[in-house]
Amino acid sequence: MAKLPAFSSQFIAMSGGMDLATPPIAKANSDAIIALNVQPLFSGGFTRIEGYESIDGKIIPSEMKYYLIVLQDVPPPTLLNSEFLLDNKPAKVIEVIDNSIVVISQVGAAVFTKSSISIGEFTSVITYITSSVGDVNKSRDYLAKAFQYGCDLVRSVDGEGILRGVAELNENLIVFRDQDLFCGAFISDKDEGWKPVPKTYVIELSVSAHPEYFADGAKFTVDQQMHIALSSNVSTDNKKVTLICHSLFELNKQVSINNEVVGTVTACNEVTLTKGGYFEIIYHNFYGGVDTQYAYACNGYEVIEIRQDGSLIPIKVNAQYPQHIVAHKNHLFVSFKGGQVGHSLVGYPTRWSVLLGSEQFGLGDEITALSSAVGGVLLICCEHKVSALYGSTSDDWALKGLSKVGIQAGTLQSTFVPVGISTNGITRIDQTEQFGDFKLSELDASRKLGFNPLDNKISFTSTLANRNQVRFYSSSGSHLCIMLLPDGTTKSTYFNYPDKLTGVWQSNNYTYLAFNDGKVYRQNENCYSYAGKQIEWLIKMSFNHCGSPTTIKSWHSAELQATTQGEGKLKYRYDLDYNANFHATKLNEDISIYGGGGRWNDSFWNNFLWSAEDYSTPTFQLSGYSRNISLSFSGDELYAPPFELTGLIINYITRRLYRV
């Protein structure tokens, strides 16, 4: 009696990374050969890359909402797309349905039933209001329009050209953009959006008495008006002092402290910044107070301290053209063009007196990065070498060479180990167990991706600490996401943006991006698009031989292991025999995944059911004969929560041996 052919199955656990270098016949079936606009999950699998939103302090698009408002009177169809103020917040009508309207506006708009609403010449009374509808797809469409409306409302920063820097302090953004003559600075405001930061002035005094009175935060009097010294720097001979404050003074005015005349104004100039530079920004609390977490920045021309209210404190250093900046051992370190690096007094980032302990070193090579590493060692990366500064103060500094391989400028970042781009590829700097030394080693991502530093043209970097990721941003538009695993291996994917990236700055909370439109953009996991533009993602798994590359299989079906919040729509396709042209393929077939379920009680004691699937296993049909198969998944929904794709089950029948 004839025996029916037996079905076989193979499970594929998606690794979450790509392998572009291993030959196809030896490649692990868990790796992808294309992974675009997705990122690896720590335990395996892929999820979509997060989106970003434009912000100005006044408008936050990811917090925009929609309101379904039922009215006492039937609204005219002409209200569609009308803009008005809802509780003094900008709002827009996006749909008119019978006697109700759908309005998008900011979160927190105080709107109540039985209150009056006016839109142009139409006025009515609200009888019912809700911020949710039963149709998930319609709700997502409304939220997408609300998000887009929020992005459209956001103002660009005043000025010309690209953004020069973004700092975040106490939930306020301080942004730099070139003006006519100088680089302007602006701070975000919940009521006005962008507004200029408070002006600061450099006051030069000749000291006549009590130089010890001049301290940071000291209160002094000029013309019977009280002022505060934001910063104070007394010369080593106690004859001159430099104050930073918010007031402009005339020359020869007397300055009093504690009712005593202590000095005379000899110069007073407004603090200005040179245009054309790119700010490198760090954060540190040198002063130990709960409200003294400040930002420190250099732009190739000046070094500044940025206060939480946007006040700019210029730092007078001992060399020209500052390039890189870092806080290390409670010193502020700055590198300069020409291979020089110097530091402030310990605990005083604005004081750089050589006589009091400030020091400067020469490296003999252009410095490309500074990083304070584990173990209290300062890594000084140059174009052709890497050195380390050991010690705690100027009394015991010791400079030691680590490697003859240099790091490219703008590429050094750190999660739990420093990672950068060298001439050899993607390199990590590990601390050895002996004597606290370091060694440089190439990440396996370089080999798997066939990474070429010259071709990739990395310009900016950032980290995503909660995912152990380092991200490298390329001027060519193909950006790289690398997840570092505890065993030293990596998972890598690529992502791109619809516009050319011109700047990346990272705070303690977010990563900020800049493009050519003068707006500030913030990466946010609650953003499901690129400021209203679709995120088109693609995953193509490596070709799978399902046991043997010498046997022909008849492909029957596949099951996807996935989850999301609610419903997610994606497309799948499959390719046979390394995309051989004698095979027909099904292209871009639709499939849905579900997830986010929870238990609910269905009237019977202790009888719990699922409200929805917690994990989705959709099955789709395959067809054709071949030795191997590759499955691809893609999507481009405008507004959909992130998903997880973690595994596949392929069902097939083994037919016969392959004959040449």
Q: What is the pLDDT of residues 1-25, one digit of tens each?
A: 556 778 899 999 999 999 998 898 8
Rounded to an integer, what distance in angstroms lies between the CA atom of residue 650 and that of residue 542?
Answer: 13
**3-class DSSP state of 26:** helix
Rounded to an integer, what distance in angstroms lies between the CA atom of residue 368 and that of residue 407?
Answer: 7
| Fold of the domain spanning 201-270 | Elongation Factor Tu (Ef-tu); domain 3 (2.40.30)
pLDDT at 651: 96
Q: Out of 141-155, 491-505, 565-579, which region has the weakest mean confidence (pLDDT)?
A: 565-579
Using an 8 Å Cβ cutoff, are 386 and 372 in contact?
A: no
496 band by pLDDT with thresholds 50, 70 and 90: very high
Domain definitions of the chain by residue range: 7-36+536-657, 59-153, 201-270, 274-524
pLDDT at 118: 93
Q: For 586-624, what is each residue's pLDDT tens digit? A: 677 889 888 765 544 444 444 544 444 567 788 999 998
Rounded to an integer, what distance in angstroms lies between the CA atom of residue 349 and that of residue 75?
Answer: 62
Rounded to an integer, what distance in angstroms lies between the CA atom of residue 110 and that of residue 121?
Answer: 21
Q: How many CB atoms lie within 10 A of CB 87?
A: 14
Rounded to an integer, what distance in angstroms lies between the CA atom of residue 429 and that of residue 417?
Answer: 6
Nearest to 496 by CA among 480, 484, 510: 480
pLDDT at 488: 85
Alpha carbon dihedral 47, 52, 58, 61, in 10-degree steps, equals -60
Edge-first strand order for the sheet with 172-178 is 160-169, 172-178, 183-189, 193-196
pLDDT at 609: 47
pLDDT at 599: 45
Q: For 75-116, what is each residue's pLDDT tens digit? A: 999 999 999 999 999 999 999 999 999 999 998 888 889 999
| Fold of the domain spanning 7-36+536-657 | Jelly Rolls (2.60.120)
Calculate the CA 145 to chain-centre distance.
Answer: 24
Average pLDDT over residues 266-272: 96
Tokens standing for 376?
């209290």
Looking at the chain, the number of H-run helices and the number of E-run strands are 3, 55
CATH fit for domain 274-524, picks 2.130.10.10, 3.40.50.2300, 1.20.120.1200, 2.60.40.2230: 2.130.10.10
Q: How many CB atoms lie within 10 A of CB 160?
A: 11
Q: Out of 42-46, 432-436, 608-612, which region has the weakest mean confidence (pLDDT)?
A: 608-612
Residue 465 burial by Cβ neighbours in a 10 Å radius (0-12, 13-18, 19+) = exposed
Rounded to an integer, what distance in angstroms lies between the CA atom of residue 528 and that of residue 384?
Answer: 41
Tokens standing for 22?
């291993």
Integer angstrom CA distances of residue 506 from 173, 197, 279, 413, 650:
12, 20, 12, 11, 42
Backbone dihedral angles phi then psi of residue 612, each to the nearest 5 degrees: -160, 165
CATH class held by domain 59-153: alpha beta
Tokens standing for 210?
């009590």
